[in-house]
Amino acid sequence: MGCCNPNYRKTVNEKEEELNRKGKDSVPLLAKIIILLIITGGILALFLR
């Protein structure tokens, strides 16, 4: 579909709405757990010196 097609803007708007409905990208749960473990380990390392 080229940019000169009359339905182009409608198609782009529909795709944009579909992406917005899916929600924003978020940090996966596993990554959150790993970050939490690293931070906790760092804090413990400071106290156990």
pLDDT digits (tens, 9 = 90+) for 9-49: 888 888 888 877 776 666 778 889 999 999 999 999 999 88
Locate all alpha helices (DSSP H) within the chain, ordered by sequence.
8-22, 29-47
Distance CA 30, CA 7 (A): 41
- The pLDDT of residue 29: 83
Tell me, what's the pLDDT at 41? 94
Task: Kindly state the tokens that stand for 34.
Answer: 């790993």
Distances (CA, A) of 29 to 12, 14, 24, 32, 35: 31, 30, 15, 5, 10
Q: 0.75 exceeded by the pTM? A: no
Cβ(8)–Cβ(1) below 8 Å: yes
